[in-house]
Amino acid sequence: MTKDNEHIEQIVDNYDGDAGMLIPMMQDLQADCGYLQTEHLRCLSKRLGVPLSRIYAVATFYSSFRFTPKGAHEVTLCMGTVCYLKGAGQICEAITKEFRVEPGGTTHDRLFSFQAVNCVGACAVAPVMLVDGKYYENVTPASALEILHGLCPDEDTSEKESEA
C-alpha cells in the first residue's frame, strides 16, 4: 500500500498538486496500472482534497476510464461513420458472438479487452480495427475473427510493434 501511495504522490507531484489536472492524473494512473482501482482513487481524493464522489463523477463521465483490469491485449474496433457504412456493425456482432464479449468488456480468459470507439481517424481504409495499437485495414467479420484467434495469451504486449 505504501508503494501505491508513493506512486500516487509521484503522479500528483508531476502536476504540482493541481486538482484541475485530475483527468491527466487519472490517465497516468490508468496507463501505469491498467485500470482505476478504488483504493487508488481514495488515495487520490485524500491527497487532492477532492471528494471521492466528485472523482467518480469525472471518471465515469469519460469513456476512456475503466474500473476493471484489462486483458492481455487491447482490441479497438472503429465504429465511425465510414466504418459503420462499410460493415463495422457486423464485425462487432461477430466478435461479441464468437468471444462472448460486449464492447467495453474483457473476455473471460482475459485474452483481450474489447472497445468500440467513435472514430480512430483512419477512415480512408475503413473498416479499421486496432490490436495493441497496430492498425488493420479493410477488416471483415471473418478477417477480424482470424486476427483475434491468432492472439496469444502470454504474449508481451509491450513488445508489440506500435504503429499509428
Partner 1 sequence: MTSFCDKRLNSPDELERVREDLSEHRNSDTKSVCVCIGPGCAAKGANRIYELFCEAVEQSGAQVKVKAKGVGCHGLCECGPIVIIQPGDIFYQRVEEPDVAEIFRETVLSDRIVERLLYEDPSTGKKVKSPNEIPFYKAQKRIALAYNGVIDPASIEDYIAAGGYTALPRALTSMTSEEIIAEVDVAGLRGRGGGGFPTARKWRSCRAAEGFPKYVICNGDEGDPGAFMDRAIMEGNPHSVLEGMIIGAYAIGSSQGYIYVRNEYPLSVERLKEAIKQARQWGFLGEDILGSSFSFDIRINRGGGAFVCGESTALMASLEGRPGEPRAKYIHTVESGLWGRPTNLNNVETWANVPAIINNGGEWFAKMGTEKSKGTKVFSLVGKITNTGLVEVPMGITLRQIVEEIGGGIPDGKSFKAVQTGGPSGGCIPAQHLDTRVDFDELTKLGSMMGSGGMIVMDEDTCMVNVAKYFTAFLQKESCGKCTPCREGLSQMLDILDRITDGEGKVGDIESLEVLAELLEGAALCALGKTAANPVLSTIRYFRDEYDAHILERHCPAKECRGLFRYEIDPETCKACGICLKNCPADAISGEKKVPHVINQEKCTLCGTCWEKCPFTAVLKV
Nearest approach in angstroms of CB 3 to partner 1 is: 26
Over its C-alpha atoms, the chain yields an Rg (Å, rounded) of 18
Q: Does 49 bind partner 1 (CB under 8 A)?
A: no
Question: Whole-angstrom Cα distance, residue 148 to residue 63?
Answer: 23
> What cell numbers appear for 153 in the block?
495469451
Q: Is the peptide bond before 51 cis (omega within 30 degrees of 0)?
A: no
Alpha-carbon gap, residue 139 to 145, rounded angstroms: 10
Q: Any contact of residue 147 with partner 1 (CB under 8 A)?
A: no
Nearest approach, Cβ of residue 29 and partner 1 (Å): 13
C-alpha 122/C-alpha 88 separation (Å) is: 13
Return the residue of 64, 67, 97, 100 that touches partner 1, per CB under 8 A: 64
Per DSSP, the three-state class of 137 is coil
Part of the chain binding partner 1 (CB under 8 A), chosen from 2-10, 34-42, 117-125, 152-160: 117-125
Spatial distance between the Cα atoms of 91 and 94, rounded to a whole number of angstroms: 5
104 touching partner 1, by CB under 8 A: no
Question: Given the complex with partner 1, which of 109 and 146 has the nearer CB atom?
Answer: 146
Using rule CB under 8 A, residue 136 touches partner 1:
yes
- Residues found near partner 1 in the complex (CB under 8 A): 19-24, 27, 57-58, 61-65, 79-82, 84-85, 117-126, 128, 133, 135-137, 161, 163-164
